[in-house]
Amino acid sequence: MLVLLVTAASVQDTTGGRDVVDQLAARHPGVVKAWADSGYKRSVIERGAAHGIDIEVVSKDPGQKGFAPLPKRWAIERTFGWWMLHRRLARDYETLPERSATMIHWAMIPVDCTILCRSVPEFIVFGGCLTRVLKKVFAVS
């Protein structure tokens, strides 16, 4: 996860999208491509273009009937599913956006460790993976 922005429910998607693009460009200037849902307006695409980021809108096929996962969109829905496995994220218990962001970062630790450990075959087991990664990161014996 490159950028996380937690806002009040009253904030429009387009407004939040512009803020996310600004943060993404500031923190990760090497990003040149991003995907957005069809709910985002032209201003998000224009803001991305101003930062040199090509924002592609992922939209449903006009002839589609019934459910079909959209390209790139399924990765976001999968991430939301991972978050719902955590009790504090399944409902809106937090009163501060900063606290919600912290809980999301905590929820992503096992996912990130699993992704990191896939490249090294002996780190298949999550518990061992986390221990080995922490030992390498913090040089603990």
Number of domains, the chain: 2
Do both 95 and 137 map to the same domain? yes
pLDDT in tens, 64-94: 888 877 777 777 778 888 888 877 777 777 7
Do both 16 and 50 map to the same domain? yes
Tokens representing 98 are 């900063």
DSSP 55-103: EEEE---TT--S--PPTTHHHHHHHHHHHHTSHHHHTT--SSHHHHHHH
Structural domain boundaries, residue 55: 1-59
Do both 33 and 78 map to the same domain? no
Do both 102 and 74 map to the same domain? yes
Segment-wise mean pLDDT, segments of 10 residues, the chain, 141 residues: 87 90 94 86 90 88 81 78 80 82 86 71 48 51 45
